[in-house]
Amino acid sequence: MHADATAVTSMPSEQFFLARQPILGRDQKLVAFELLFRAAPEHEDAQLTDYAAATATVIAHASQLGMEQVVGEQLAFVNVDEVVLKSDFVRFLPPDRVILEILETVDPNDQVLARIRELKELGFKFALDDVIGHSEQVSKLIDLVDVIKVDVNAISREELTCLATSLRDAPQKLLAEKVETVEEFHLCMELGFEYFQGYYFARPAILSGKKISPSELVVLRLLELIGSNADNAAIELAVKRDALLSLNLLRLVNSRAAGPDRHIESVSQALVQLGRSQLQRWLQILLYSTPDGRVELNSPLLQMATTRGRLLELMSLTLRPGDVAGAEAAFTIGIMSLMDALLSLPMDRILDRVDVSQEVKAALLDRAGDYGAMLSVAEELEGKQCGRRLSRALDKLGLSIKQIREIELAAFDWVRGLGADTRVH
């Protein structure tokens, strides 16, 4: 089955969600995203038969927008079934930016093997999905793929150990998927896996007796001062108490200052130049920075937090145009929603230190109200199974699938551009 460009771009795209899941390297930095195409709940029965249409639609979107907007500097893993493999529209993808992930449903017949070899000659790389043992499919495809994805939830620890050991000397890289706990991650590290996919890094590992570090305390104190509308002198004094924070603030403002002759040398000038709203946003992002104050956009937790923040902000502005305060609260909820994972503290203890409204607290603690529904939408879009919970949250808010996909792409693009706007090193 072949599909030409006209067929792809004319396919109905309203009924599919675009999600992406982060893929991390052994250093816990982002290396790729898997792009996931989910049918809307009312079309779930047709999800498998419509898979090629969903893939074609997102490939067309990615081609029109540019893969960079969807995944930034990272690689994209794109699932392909036999129909997609044999189609012409797969050629719309840039070979140097994607890894084609062969689904476990693909029959490695002679035609499929020939097509994979043809695409490899064009520069495409391949991954084999959901490997749980040495099947006939694996034996026929293993020499043609670059990455082997192992579903760690589908097999026992002993089976995982045996499988990883048998593949350890193979030239292919091993990727552990559905890694949901830190213990699973450590086991896969020991077994020689190169890549990791799953939300283990975003799970709050609550530690008894854990204390917030001095630098985190400074940022949280400043956020509390801003939230309580403290005067400029109190905010300036709090910034000046931390030399690194003062230095980074001056660097940030001078990187944004208008004109080559405009150089800001005092903290008080910097605070005026930046303004309360931007200072609050910068501090929220800075919480996820490295100990020396660098914002590294290949940190998966920072990517998730800032994406959530921007998603909620754009949802809020779509629903309540002109409500700047509401949009700022939405951004705060999104970016704070992973602070329990960041600080290894329960969310209620963190919220005791930051002055936020009851509406913000209710969203963060109970996913309550409109903001809670927005946060639920963001969480569902992170590559989990986009299903009825997502649709219910969208219905509650009055947002369409088309609107949320446009908001999502705009959020991805904004996060990608953060490097220039939050340069704190």
- Identify whether the C-beta of residue 256 lies closer than 8 Å to the C-beta of residue 421: yes
- Do 140 and 279 belong together in one domain? no
Would you say 266 and 230 are in contact if contact means Cβ atoms under 8 Å apart? Answer: no
Q: Which two tokens stand for residue 238?
A: 């709090």
- Closest C-alpha to 180, from 164, 161, 201, 151: 201
pLDDT for position 311: 97
The answer on 236 and 116 residing in a single domain is no
Q: How far apart are CA 61 and CA 13, in angstroms?
A: 9
Report, as an integer, the average pLDDT of 247-256: 78
Instruction: Report the range out of 100-104, 298-302, 359-363 with the highest average pLDDT.
Output: 359-363
Question: Domain of 174?
Answer: 5-201
For residue 385, the model assigns a pLDDT of 59
Q: How many CA atoms lie within 13 A of 26 on its CB side?
A: 10
Q: What is the pTM of this model?
A: 0.85
Q: Do 150 and 252 have their domain in common?
A: no
**231 in the same domain as 358:** yes
Q: Evaluate whether 130 touches 148 at the Cβ level (below 8 Å).
A: no
The more confident residue out of 212 and 198 is 198
**How many Å apart are CA 301 and CA 328, to the nearest integer?**
20
Top-confidence range, 89-98, 114-123, 252-261: 114-123
> Has residue 184 got a pLDDT over 90?
yes
What pLDDT does residue 110 have? 92
Please write the tens of the pLDDT for every residue from 365-392: 999 999 999 999 999 888 655 567 788 8
pLDDT of 215: 78
Q: Are residues 177 and 270 in the same domain?
A: no
Q: Secondary structure of 162-227 in the HEC alphabet?
A: HHHHHHCCCCCEEEEECCCCHHHHHHHHHCCCCEEECCHHHCCCCCCCCCCCHHHHHHHHHHHHHH
Mean pLDDT of 176-204: 93
162 belongs to a structural domain: yes
Instruction: Give residue 170's pLDDT.
Output: 87
Q: How would you class 231 by CB atoms within 10 Å of its CB: exposed for 0-12, middle for 13-18, buried for 19 or more?
A: exposed
Task: Report whether 57 contacts 16 (CB < 8 A).
Answer: yes
* 160, 178, 201 - which closes a domain: 201
147 and 35 both lie in a single domain = yes
Nearest to 67 by CA among 99, 42, 40, 111: 99
Does residue 149 lie in a domain region?
A: yes
Mean pLDDT rounded to a whole number for the chain = 83
- Mean pLDDT score, 276-288: 88
Query: For residue 104, is it within any domain?
Result: yes
pLDDT in tens, 404-413: 988 998 998 8
Contacts of 289 (CB under 8 A, 6+ apart): 295, 296, 302, 424
**CA 279 to chain CA mean position, Å:** 24
Q: How many CB atoms lie within 10 A of CB 270?
A: 21
Residue 208 domain flag: no
**Mean pLDDT of the 38-42 span:** 62
Residue 150 has pLDDT above 50, yes or no: yes
Give the residue with greater pLDDT, 132 vs 180. 180
pLDDT of 53 strictly over 70: no
The CATH number of the domain where 243 resides is what? 1.10.3210
- How far apart CA 325 and CA 317 sit, in angstroms, is 10
Domain boundary among 201, 231, 249: 201
Greatest mean pLDDT among 81-95, 335-349, 361-375: 361-375
- N- to C-terminal Cα distance for the chain? 52
Please write the tens of the pLDDT for every residue from 207-235: 767 777 777 888 888 888 888 888 889 99
Does residue 388 sit within a domain? Answer: yes
- Does 69 share its domain with 47? yes
225 and 363 within one domain: yes
Asked if 23 and 30 touch (Cβ cutoff 8 Å), the reply is: yes
Residue 206 lies in a domain: no
Q: In total, how many domains does the chain have?
A: 2
Question: Both 88 and 224 in a single domain?
Answer: no
Of residues 25, 28, 38, the one with CA closest to residue 381: 38
User: Do both 380 and 416 map to the same domain?
Assistant: yes
What is the per-residue pLDDT for 205? 76
317 within domain boundaries: yes
Residue 209 lies in a domain: no
Same domain, residue pair 197 and 223: no
Q: What pLDDT, in 10s, does the model give residues 104-141? A: 888 999 999 999 999 999 999 999 998 887 777 888 99
Same domain, 105 and 218: no
Residue that is last in its domain, among 132, 167, 201: 201
CATH number of 192's domain: 3.20.20.450
